[in-house]
Amino acid sequence: MKKYDLTSILENRFLAAVSYYGLLEPGDKVLAGVSGGPDSVLLALFLYKYREILNIRPLLIHVNHNLRGLDSLGDESFTRELASKLGLDFILKNIYPQKYARDKKVSLETASRVLRYRAFEEARKESGCRKIATAHHLDDLIETMLFRLFKGCGVSSLLAMTPSSRCIIRPLLFFEKKDILSYLEENNIEYRRDFSNLDLRIDRNFIRNKIIPLIDSRFHNFRMKMLGLYKIILGEEEVWDELMRKLESSKIIKNGKLILNKKYLLIGDKGEKSLLKRFFYRELRAFSNFEFNPDSVLLERMVKFSIPISGNKIIFNNGSVRIISSYDSLIIDKTVKKFPKKSIYVRIKRSRYIKYGDFRLKIDKISGSVTSADLNIQRPDSCIFNIEGIEGFTIREKLDGDRFGLSASGTKKIQDFFIDEKIGLDRREETFILEEKRGHIIAFYVPGYGFRVSAEFYVKRGFKNAVRLSLESSGMQSGA
């Protein structure tokens, strides 16, 4: 291959971007995503050429989307050969976005992007790389900015891409497509063409092939003006990010849920509300793997419910993302209730394990008389109860009207117990009941609270018929 001049404008721009944005550090192993197109070929060549100067070790990865038949196989063969010519390690990953799009009810483009980055991350970990380099360039950036503008996204979303994000780096982000093509053609470097990029049924292709050329014909230097706007927003976003760090203490992720503690959310003047909206937008995007775009109406609603309230209210549910305002928390869940509706009957004969939904329960029948040690239960996810005259019990979900026995006389609705203890809706849905054949509730379990045994099934020292029930392991442990 031709030895390129170090003074080349694009080569200097590449090195400047790496240095200015701190994209690579000495000793980095970097995984370069190569489709075979002109942009990714240039990225691979630059990483290869400057591997010694930058003290890095590049590897190439090709993700075959299996969408274009022989063309897809041609891309795979081309990128494998490119890696061989450069003497670089090569990784191949196959993905099948059509099935994912059907299963998840998302566009083929979204499915491809999700699975592609999943494959990148999987390969990064397998190969021990610190960075993943993609070949996004200025035209990609502008297309995405316009795409999000047309979709009604917020100002911060116009950033679209940044030079670096977590372990992703984009060294070519400020390169124009025409410059990339000219560089490759002048140096007789081959690359692949993806003719699916001409399909105008795809929104991004329509923007790329119809909208942008129309703007270009009317507004000269359009790309540089868009880049100027991008850099202004990028600078402002750094200020917002610094302010949003104050809200970081409000969030925890447990058992697949994002929980925001309202006590740490700022409420007050318009500036603070704007800050909250940006924070909610960012967290929802990240939590949904960037598949969900919250609109301004939802963000306003989340701000409204950012103050402590009594009770629980579902403030949003689109079938994949659900947001609950629950007392002192905002709870974001990716899925709605997954709790089993089918009850199971457990016969008490011996110690055994029972699987109920995501819960795994250990049942120990106590032999002999109950001792003080038996009664000394330290864990909330364990309980002991009297089984005098009971051969077994049913495990089921909670129903409206369920009541448990109090230590004094009478009973209390479990629903009222939830209210008194400020139990969130998500945990109410995961509550399960132990019921004996007469319909009396022996005990119930609430994630984050533990077991509560009805008074008539309390155990005292010296009792000869008792069972210890423990949550041995579960996807929803105490503290959820």
CA distance 90 to 79: 8
What does the pLDDT read at residue 476? 39
What does the pLDDT read at residue 337? 56
For residue 301, the surrounding DSSP H or E stretch is helix 296-304
253-263 residue pLDDT tens: 887 889 999 98
- Bridge partners of 453? 443
In the chain, count H helices and then E strands.
Answer: 16, 22
Q: Given the DSSP bridges, would you call strands 29-33 and 57-64 parallel, antiparallel or unpaired? A: parallel
Side by side, the strands of the sheet bearing 164-165 are: 90-94, 57-64, 29-33, 131-133, 168-169, 164-165
Q: Can you tell me the mean pLDDT for 112-141?
A: 95
Q: Can you tell me the mean pLDDT for 102-129?
A: 91
Instruction: Quote the mean pLDDT of the chain.
Output: 87
What does the pLDDT read at residue 243? 83
What does the pLDDT read at residue 3? 47
435-456 residue pLDDT tens: 999 999 999 999 888 899 999 8
Percent of the chain with pLDDT over 90: 44
CA distance 249 to 252: 8
Instruction: Please tell me whether the overall predicted TM-score, pTM, comes out greater than 0.75 for this model.
Output: no
What sign does the CA torsion over 430, 281, 251, 300 have? negative
CA distance 24 to 21: 9
| Secondary structure (DSSP) of 422-433 | T--HHHHHT-EE
What does the pLDDT read at residue 55? 97
* pLDDT above 60 for 280: yes
Give the three-class secondary structure for 346: strand
pLDDT band at 104 (very low <50, low <70, confident <90, very high): confident
What does the pLDDT read at residue 432? 93
Asked if residues 168 and 31 have their Cβ atoms less than 8 Å apart, the reply is no
Residue 17: both structure tokens together: 């971007």
Query: Which long-range CB contacts under 8 A does 270-277 form with residues at least 24 apart?
Result: 273/303, 275/240, 275/243, 275/244, 275/247, 276/247, 276/302, 276/303, 276/306, 277/154, 277/302, 277/303
382-438 residue pLDDT tens: 889 988 888 889 999 999 899 999 876 789 999 999 988 888 888 888 899 999 999
* pLDDT above 80 for 291: no
* pLDDT above 70 for 266: no
CA distance 402 to 404: 7
CA distance 81 to 366: 68
CB atoms within 10 A of CB 206: 15
Placement of tokens 């026995």 in the chain: 405
Query: Which long-range CB contacts under 8 A does 406-410 form with residues at least 24 apart?
Result: 406/455, 407/455, 407/458, 408/455
**Helix 9-20 × helix 38-49 angle, to 10°:** 70
User: What contacts 87, CB < 8 A, 6 or more positions away?
Assistant: none
CA distance 336 to 321: 8
**Nearest to 327, CA basis, from 381, 278, 260, 272:** 260
Asked if residues 276 and 265 have their Cβ atoms less than 8 Å apart, the reply is yes
What does the pLDDT read at residue 407? 78
pLDDT band at 151 (very low <50, low <70, confident <90, very high): confident
Q: Can you tell me the mean pLDDT for 260-270?
A: 75
Alpha helices, DSSP H, located in 201-295? 203-206, 212-218, 222-244, 270-287
Question: Residue 98: is it exposed, middle or buried by C-beta count within 10 angstroms (0-12/13-18/19+)?
Answer: middle
Placement of tokens 């075959």 in the chain: 64
Compare 266 and 463 and report the one with higher pLDDT: 463
47-77 residue pLDDT tens: 999 999 999 999 999 999 999 889 999 999 9
For residue 261, the surrounding DSSP H or E stretch is strand 257-261
Q: Can you tell me the mean pLDDT for 124-141?
A: 95
Phi, psi of 408 (to 5 degrees): -85, -150
Give the three-class secondary structure for 332: strand
